[in-house]
Amino acid sequence: MSALVADVVAVRVPERTWRSEARAVKTVWRRDMIRFLGNRAQTMTWLIQPLLFLFVLGSGLQSLSAASTDGVDLKTFIFPGVVCIAVLFTAMISAASLVWDRELGFLREMMVAPVSRTSIIVGKCLGAATIAASQGAIVLALAGFVDVPYDPVLLLGALGLLVLLAFTVTAFGVLVAVTIKQAQTFTWVMQMVVFPMLFLSGALYPVAGLPAWLEVLNRINPLTYAVDPMRHLVFSHLDVSEAARRTLDPGVTWFGWRVPSLVEVGVVVLLGLAMMGVAIRRFSRTD
C-alpha cells in the first residue's frame, strides 16, 4: 500500500479570489465546448428546423408571395429571421443542459465546489451562447444561397447581433432551467414559449400593418428586437426598390416612433443581463 502512495503529489485548494472565479467560469464554459465539439453530429441536427423554414417554406411560399415582395425573393426576406431562429433553438436546447445536469447528477459536483453560484451561471450562459452563436454563424454563412452578399460589414454586424441574441436567449433558457426541476417541463416550455416567440417575432413576416392584437404581442416579444436590426442590416446591403424596403423592412415602431437599431440592441442586452441576474439569484438559494 505504501508503494501506492509513496510519491504523493501535494496539492492545495487556494482561497477564493476573482481569479479563481474567472477560472471557474472558464471551466464551466470549456466543459460545454468539449461536449459540443464531441457531439457535433447531434448539434447539427438542431439546424434542420431553421433550414426547413429557409429553404422549404421560403421556396414553397415564394409563388404566393411574389406579388407582394416587390421582386425580393421570400428566402432573402426571411433569411435574417431564420438566422435568429437558429440561435433561438440552439440557445434554448443548450441552456436545457443545466436541467439534464441536475437530472443526471453532475450539477452537484459544481454546487459543492468552492466557487460562487454566479460563476457557474455565467459560465453556463457563455458556454450555451457560444454554441448558439456558432450555429447561427453556420446559417449566416449560407447567405450566398439566398442572394445576400458576403459583405464584411454585413457579416461582422450580423455576427455581433447573433452573439448578443445568443446570450440573451441563453440567459432566458438558464433562468427557465434553474426554475424548473424536471427535464420534461423544459420540453413543455419549448412548446409554450419558444414557438410562440418565434411566430410573434416577425422572423417570417414584416412587422408593419399587423392586426392590433398581433402588433401588441409582437412588440412585447424580445425576439422582435433582435430580428428587426438583423433584417435592417441585411436590407441595407441589398439592392432593392424603395417600395420593397418600405414593405419588407418597415422597422419596429413604438406608438409611431421608429425604434433605432441601437435601442433595439440595447433592449436585447439589458433583457439578457436582467434574466441572468434573476437566474443567479434563484440558483444561489440553497435548500
Partner 1 sequence: MHPFIPPAIEVEDLVKSYGEVDAVRGVSFAVPPGEVFGFLGPNGAGKSTTINMLCTLVTPTAGTARVSGFDVVTRRDEVRRHIGLVFQDPTLDLQLTAAQNLRLHGDLYGIGAEVIPARMDQMLRMVGLADRRDQRVITFSGGMKRRLEIARGLMHSPRVLFLDEPTIGLDPQTRSSIWRYIRALQESEGTTIFMTTHYMDEAEFCDRIAIMDRGEIVVLDTPEALKAGVGADRVVLGTADDDAALAALRDRFGIEASVAEGAVTFHVENGEAFVPRLFAELDVAITSVAVSRPTLDDVFMRHTGTTIRDAETGGPADLNRAMMRAMAGAKR
Interaction of residue 35 with partner 1, rule CB under 8 A: yes
Q: 225 and 270 in contact (C-beta within 8 Å)?
A: no
User: Is-contact 36 131, C-beta < 8 A?
Assistant: yes
Least distance in angstroms from the C-beta of 108 to partner 1: 5
User: Which residues sit opposite 253 in a β-bridge?
Assistant: 258
Q: How far is the CB of 284 from partner 1 (least distance, A)?
A: 11
Contact call for residue 13 and partner 1 (CB under 8 A) = yes
CA dihedral 205, 207, 209, 214 (to 10 degrees): 90
Options 14-22, 45-53, 86-94, 239-247: segment touching partner 1 (CB under 8 A): 14-22
Q: How many CA atoms lie within 13 A of 287 on its CB side?
A: 0
- Cβ–Cβ < 8 Å for 168, 279: no
Pinpoint the alpha helices (H) of 114-194. 117-140, 152-179, 183-189
Q: Does 199 bind partner 1 (CB under 8 A)?
A: no
Q: Binding string to partner 1 for residues 111 to 130, with x set by CB under 8 A, is what?
A: xxxxx---------------
Rg (CA), the chain: 22
Question: Site for partner 1 (CB under 8 A): which residue of 41, 106, 150, 176?
Answer: 106
Q: Is 140 in the site for partner 1 (CB under 8 A)?
A: no
Q: Is 41 in the site for partner 1 (CB under 8 A)?
A: no
Give 130 or 261: the residue with its C-beta nearer to partner 1: 130
Q: Which of 96, 135, 80, 127 shows the shortest CA–CA distance to 251?
A: 80
Q: Which of these ranges, 79-87, 103-111, 249-257, 268-276, lies near partner 1 under the rule CB under 8 A?
A: 103-111
Instruction: Give the residues lining the site for partner 1 (CB under 8 A).
Output: 1-2, 4-5, 7-16, 20, 23-24, 26-27, 30-31, 34-35, 38-39, 102-115, 181-182, 286-287
